[in-house]
Amino acid sequence: MDVSSTAAGAKGKKGAAGRKAGGPRKKSVTRSVKAGLQFPVGRIGRYLKKGRYAQRVGTGAPVYLAAVLEYLAAEVLELAGNAAKDNKKSRIIPRHLLLAIRNDEELGKLLAGVTIAHGGVLPKINPVLLPKKTADKAAKEPKSPKKTAKSPKKA
């Protein structure tokens, strides 16, 4: 009789499988916290599975992808923040993103085919269009002595 009463008692408590009966439930730790990331590892894993990029997705794949995406986001935001500071602004706008990406060699190569809305273009003037400084200086120097030479002749 003792054996049957303990078996019935164990079946009565549901949801405690694998833990001590009635003990306090542990707080769940996300995979993002375990990996020390801000980007959501679980959500990225779900998107990888839903997107049907492969038949099977390993456990390390979403962690690695989240880390790479977080690094890229941090890099772009840092450079865009510097561009905003250079323009004496406290907010990052699309123009600052464009300046940050296009002025960085590696990010520019990665995002070469990307158009950023309201980003504008990089400021660049073709050297052919600029006035020639050496010719201007050479032309101005002989003119000034001639003017001084002409004024004594007139007098």
pLDDT per residue as tens digits for the range 41-81:
999 999 999 999 999 999 999 999 999 999 999 999 999 99
What number of other Cβ atoms are within 10 A of residue 12's Cβ?
A: 7
| pLDDT value at residue 134 | 75
| pLDDT value at residue 79 | 98
Is-contact 35 67, C-beta < 8 A?
yes
| pLDDT value at residue 145 | 56
For the chain, residues with pLDDT lower than 50 are: none
**pTM, whole model, 2 decimals?**
0.69
SS (H, E, C) 28-97: CCCHHHHHCCCCCHHHHHHHHHHCCCCCCCCCCHHHHHHHHHHHHHHHHHHHHHHHHHHCCCCCCCHHHH
Tokens 């949801």 correspond to what residue? 15
As a whole number of angstroms, the distance between CA 138 and CA 119 comes to: 41
| pLDDT value at residue 13 | 57
As a whole number of angstroms, the distance between CA 86 and CA 132 comes to: 29
| pLDDT value at residue 12 | 58
